[in-house]
Amino acid sequence: MNDIGEFTLLVALATALYGCVAYIMSARGNRIDLYLSADKTPFIVWACVMISSICLWKAFLTDDFSLQYVWAYSNRELDTFYKVASFWGGQKGSLLFWTLLLTTYMLVVYFQNRNKNLRVVPYAMAVMLVIVVFFLFLVNFSTNPFERIPLPPEDGRGLNPLLQNYWMVIHPPTLYLGYVGFTVPFAFAVAALISKDLDDGWIRMTRKWTLISWFFLCMGNLFGASWAYVELGWGGYWAWDPVENAAFMPLLIATAFLHSVMIQEKKDMMKVWNMSLILLTFAMTIFGTFITRSGLIQSVHTFDEATLGYYFLAFLFVIIAACTALIIARLPLLKSANELDSFLSRESSFLFNNLVLLGIAFATFWGTIFPIISEAVRGVKITVGPPFYNQVNVPIGLALLALIGIGPVIAWRRATFSNLKKNFLKPVLAGIVAAAAMFPVIPLGNRAEIYTYVTFILCVFVLTSILTEFYKGTVSRMGLKDESAVGALATMTWRNKRRYGGYIVHIGVVLIFAGIAGSQAYGTHTEKHLQLGDSFEIRGYTIKYEKLIAVEATSIKTRIIAQLAVERDGKRYWTGHPEKEFYKGQNQPVSEVDVLSTWKEDLYMILADFGEDESATIKVYVNPMVSWMWTGGWVIAFGTMISMWPDRLEQRRRLDRVRRQEQLFPTPAQE
């Protein structure tokens, strides 16, 4: 079985190599015979990688410890659930998993576009195959998951207990689906550059792909935050760790890309910009992988295998150099058909949104690589931590938040004063009212609290402006069609999925902003060393340490649980059970926190330490509004679903628009 897995990986590499050469030659030489032969490779490559992955999964499920990778990440007593997830628990498996996702995406693209767009698609397939070749090269020759141990040990080392959490099964695949997904729009962009088909065709073909990847990346980030929150037990959800930044930067650039392609679709502008953005997004996914795999930057989850990182770095340079050269070569063909008219217009608000998003991405990038740069330039390693990111990104983030409220309602081309008054009077008034209403009740003692105050005001402003849009649409539809309010709202959203789906995503983003602001400024925490029966107070909660329970959960896991009674206004309100788990075969215990989550605040308890005299050290956090972020995540998911839903009307509208444009500016028909 293991031999099969190893062999199919080699076959996949050879086939992928052949495939990309054949695709390119067939497209350049117009050779249909070669094309037909090349067109078989995506399926073969996918099948080979799939077989290989099944072999690895089977090794995990059958406890085949003759594989070094299985030995290192599993043991006999691991839950089947986690045995499946151990596949991506370490370096080697995660690269194979990446390859599997990449080839699966490639296969879907292949079926979607079979015998269509013969000028562009072969090049796109070739580009994807080149990337597949890179990963197959790695899993074959550098990090082969089928590496054998000559004398198989009796039992494996087991999966790190920190990873034994259901998020382990959800978070990495989600993030990878996002990371890998951007390969598709990137491949089509490069294909458009090579084939000189530089209208918005590649954007339309890959819009769904971009959205799906963006969605997974966004969810992956949020899942990572909640994993850190419930599992790592430090009371926070985001630490600006290089690995987090690595997932955050592509998300920011992809968001900029999602917005600016609208300008290209509607106004035929910003072509070079969009090309650069998608190239940058893809480069960031590779850069992120480089950071996590090289151990070059001190982080909490480095994989510590230096050489592998440099393969990624080399690959990154090749991609950037090749794509920059390609864009420069095609510059004359990428001229914009239109120009920006006014600062006060939808177009320029998109431009500013892009600049701001890239600003946050750049600040994050700079902070992440600053230790390397300072060491190279000054010989001293200088690091920046969360204070840096907060100081820089919070003001820029607030500008972004304001733009979310402005962008969707400001007029296209040029906003007049009456237009501004019509669209912004209500949101601005709502913001002012909110500011006045909150002023007496909100603490404004330090910078964080003032920022939070501003954030809340902006949130009200943005929400009002979005809800007004919904309201206006609904009312006008009710007037026209004689429908009920709910019916009109639903039909209107359904008829304009992209637009209103986007607004719903914006509402989710606003909730996330509010949640971050609230939890960052108004949180509090305390640590207490308690004897049985001791109690203390925090934010109106009285917490009493009642008992310490030791449970032998399984033969390898011992749980030490502290029982804490939480009282509020003299009444028992909740019982918290933070615990520590000790695993056989692991030299550190794992803290399991207990959280009481309400929309107002989270009460978050950690059992930090305990003594043989049954004393315990308890750390308690009160984190306001954290649940708003998770709610915002679900709202984003819902909005993305709506705007991704296939829309026939959208196509008709586009054709109408194209036809109108062709009547105005007759162009020779294509194909």
CA distances from 87 to 169, 223, 463, 531 (A): 10, 19, 43, 43
Amino acid type, 412: W
**Residue 366 or 439 having the CB closest to other proteins:** 366
Among 3, 79, 537, 552, binds other proteins (CB under 8 A): 552
Nearest Cα neighbor of 9 from 57, 44, 37, 38 is: 44
Q: State yes or no: residue 450 binds other proteins (CB under 8 A).
A: no
Span 516-545, contacts to other proteins by CB under 8 A:
527, 529
Q: How far apart are CA 149 and CA 60, in angstroms?
A: 15
Q: Say which residues have a Cβ less than 8 Å from residue 93's Cβ, sequence separation at least 6.
A: 56, 69, 73, 86, 87, 145
**Residue 81 or 343 having the CB closest to other proteins:** 343
- Checking 630-635 for CB contacts under 8 A at 24+ apart, the result is 630/222, 630/226, 630/515, 631/511, 631/515, 632/507, 632/508, 632/509, 632/510, 632/511, 632/512, 632/514, 632/515, 633/218, 633/219, 633/222, 633/508, 633/512, 634/508, 635/504, 635/505, 635/507, 635/508, 635/511
Range list of β-strands (E), 235-359: none
Nearest Cα neighbor of 250 from 275, 224, 279 is: 279
Q: How far apart are CA 257 and CA 264, in angstroms?
A: 10
Shortest approach of other proteins to residue 446 CB, angstroms?
Answer: 15
**Residue 300 or 425 having the CB closest to other proteins:** 300
Q: State yes or no: residue 629 binds other proteins (CB under 8 A).
A: no
3-state secondary structure of 146: coil
Instruction: Identify whether the C-beta of residue 91 lies closer than 8 Å to the C-beta of residue 305.
Output: yes
Q: State yes or no: residue 341 binds other proteins (CB under 8 A).
A: yes
Q: State yes or no: residue 340 binds other proteins (CB under 8 A).
A: yes
Part in contact with other proteins (CB under 8 A); list of ranges 19-27, 261-269, 347-355, 644-652? 347-355
Q: State yes or no: residue 371 binds other proteins (CB under 8 A).
A: yes
Among 351, 410, 517, 603, binds other proteins (CB under 8 A): 351
Shortest approach of other proteins to residue 580 CB, angstroms?
Answer: 8
Instruction: Identify whether the C-beta of residue 605 lies closer than 8 Å to the C-beta of residue 594.
Output: yes
Instruction: Identify whether the C-beta of residue 543 lies closer than 8 Å to the C-beta of residue 536.
Output: yes
Among 303, 522, 545, 630, binds other proteins (CB under 8 A): 303
3-state secondary structure of 571: strand
Q: State yes or no: residue 575 binds other proteins (CB under 8 A).
A: no
Span 383-442, contacts to other proteins by CB under 8 A:
383-385, 387-389, 391-392, 395-396
Shortest approach of other proteins to residue 277 CB, angstroms?
Answer: 15
Among 103, 144, 299, 496, binds other proteins (CB under 8 A): 299
Among 582, 604, 628, 630, binds other proteins (CB under 8 A): 582
Among 585, 598, 658, 659, binds other proteins (CB under 8 A): 585
Span 98-127, contacts to other proteins by CB under 8 A:
none
**Residue 336 or 631 having the CB closest to other proteins:** 336
Largest CA-CA distance found in the chain, in angstroms, rounded: 87
Among 41, 53, 74, 91, binds other proteins (CB under 8 A): 91
Burial (CB count within 10 angstroms: exposed 0-12, middle 13-18, buried 19+), residue 416: exposed
Cα 79 to chain center, whole Å? 28
Shortest approach of other proteins to residue 608 CB, angstroms?
Answer: 4
Among 190, 356, 510, 629, binds other proteins (CB under 8 A): 356
Burial (CB count within 10 angstroms: exposed 0-12, middle 13-18, buried 19+), residue 339: exposed
Q: State yes or no: residue 609 binds other proteins (CB under 8 A).
A: yes
Span 161-190, contacts to other proteins by CB under 8 A:
162-163
Span 9-48, contacts to other proteins by CB under 8 A:
none
Q: State yes or no: residue 153 binds other proteins (CB under 8 A).
A: yes
Among 13, 102, 124, 590, binds other proteins (CB under 8 A): 590
Give the number of other CB atoms < 10 A from CB of residue 448.
Answer: 15
Part in contact with other proteins (CB under 8 A); list of ranges 259-267, 270-278, 609-617, 662-670? 609-617
With CB under 8 A, what is the number of residues at the site for other proteins?
Answer: 80
Q: State yes or no: residue 86 binds other proteins (CB under 8 A).
A: no
Span 45-74, contacts to other proteins by CB under 8 A:
68, 71-73
